Amino acid sequence: MQQRDVICCHVRSPLMHKLNKQRVNADGISERMAGCMAARKWTINGRFLTQPMSGVQRYAEEITRSIDGLIADGHPLASSLEIEILCPPKARDLLGLRALTLKQVGTSGGHKWEQTELPRHASDGLLSLGNSGPLAKSRQIVCIHDMNTRLFPSSYSKRFRLLYGALLPALGRRAARIATVSHFSASQIVRFGVARADKIDVMPDGHEHVFAWKSDLSAAVQSAAQPDVIALIGSPAPHKNAALILSMASELEALGLKIAVAGGRDSRVFQNSGAITDAANVLWLGQLTNEELAAVLQNCLCLAFPSFTEGFGLPPLEAMALGCPVVVTDQASLPEVCGDAALYASPHDKSAWLKHFATLRDDASQRRRLIKAGHEQVRRFSWRQSAELYLEAMAKVDAAGP
């Protein structure tokens, strides 16, 4: 309990209190930075632009875009700030940038590029948003999204666990600041000795990106975009706990409900959970476009999100923003993200999940309440606001000197 109190003191929970109190005096910092005639040069680690899109890559892209917007709009903390994105060869482009430049450097990719080629080309400061960064750079802010390799090792290959088991603590010691996406993740970073609590800043995910998704009721999702369908989004990795919902197929069929499973899997990292079922009321949708996902979420009964652990839990936030009720686990970061706008159940208690699904099927007023509460809850999480927190952290690193 004593350790929890220390963590809360430095990380500033709850979330909205943190988002207000974590802020340094922006005007004061900008005045000090204005006294520096030389440009403040930073690089964004663009390795994420070579990786498949998941929650981590979504976070890195949206924070990058929001920083670009703040600089273009003349935010005071962006005074004399020059940022370029460096990425490996064959990286995808980021269209529509107004202030940032993107440049491909080096000849390799993956961890080799990040550890050997990126630091040779990077400017004074480096922002690494995707769970890893080069150990050669100490003037660096690294976002460590979660400690899932420690909390649920069965979801990851042995090689991946060993790599992160060595890399993350080294980055925690070496980097100037550690960012993370929730107070839960901050507490776990401290718990596992990766970084001190006073070195951690909480920069949550946002929701605004979903408003660019134009609902596409394609043939691939028409059967899933129905009011008798429970959407299940995510990898079949064991910590996602998809097996819990899939194990309810027969009970849900008796209630007149179906399960639609959307999302891909990365066989290089995640191990198959063995959760696949051939039940007639289970629809396997595969990888969906953002627009197809929006169509499912806007028309289904609810989203089920039964994870044992998450660093943040972006799918429930996206669902709430799109007007979809959510039923989520009562553990890890989910209560922090969903607040009073979700129905909660233990990831071990099948009967509680069935009860919630039946309630949403039968009680229209409860469903309307959750939709309204969800729209209010997502306003607490903004990419632009988190990008401002990154600008503040960068300014503090610059003000501290070499």
Instruction: Judge whether residue 391 has pLDDT over 90.
Output: yes
Please give the single-letter amino acid code of residue 239. H
Q: How far apart are CA 245 and CA 241, in angstroms?
A: 8
Sequence-distant (6+) residues with CB within 8 A of 223 are 229, 260, 283
Q: How far apart are CA 111 and CA 91, in angstroms?
A: 14
The total of other beta-carbon atoms located within 10 Å of residue 4's CB is 12
Q: What is the pLDDT of residue 19?
A: 42
The total of other beta-carbon atoms located within 10 Å of residue 173's CB is 15
The total of other beta-carbon atoms located within 10 Å of residue 301's CB is 21
Helix (H) or strand (E) holding 135: none
Predicted confidence (pLDDT) per residue in 47-99, tens digit: 999 999 999 999 999 999 999 999 999 999 998 899 999 999 999 999 999 99
Q: How far apart are CA 92 and CA 113, in angstroms?
A: 16
Structure tokens at 29: 């910092």
Helix (H) or strand (E) holding 334: helix 334-338
Second-level CATH architecture of 2-205+382-400: 3-Layer(aba) Sandwich (3.40)
**Strand order in 343-345's β-sheet?**
282-286, 258-262, 229-233, 302-305, 326-329, 343-345
Q: Which of 67-71, 231-235, 299-303 is the least confident region?
A: 231-235
Q: What is the pLDDT of residue 181?
A: 98
Q: Does this chain's domain 2-205+382-400 share its CATH topology with 209-378? A: yes
Q: How far apart are CA 230 and CA 253, in angstroms?
A: 11
- Categorize the per-residue pLDDT at 28 as very low, low, confident or very high, splitting at 50, 70 and 90: low
The answer to whether the bond into 14 is cis (omega within 30° of 0) is yes
Helix (H) or strand (E) holding 82: strand 81-87
Q: Where are the alpha helices (DSSP H) in 175-313?
A: 183-191, 242-246, 249-254, 290-299
Q: How far apart are CA 329 and CA 335, in angstroms?
A: 8
Predicted confidence (pLDDT) per residue in 321-340, tens digit: 999 999 999 999 999 999 99
Predicted confidence (pLDDT) per residue in 154-171, tens digit: 999 999 999 999 999 999
Q: How many helices (H) and strands (E) does the chain have?
A: 17, 13
Q: How far apart are CA 379 and CA 307, in angstroms?
A: 23
Measure the CA dihedral 191/157/353/334, to 10°: 40
Instruction: Judge whether residue 317 has pLDDT over 60.
Output: yes
Q: What is the pLDDT of residue 277?
A: 67
Residue at token pair 């979903």: 210
- CATH 3.40.50.2000 applies to domain 209-378: yes
Helix (H) or strand (E) holding 248: none
**Domain ranges, ordered by start, for the chain:** 2-205+382-400, 209-378
Q: How far apart, in Å, are the Cα atoms of 121 and each of 44, 124, 374?
A: 11, 10, 43
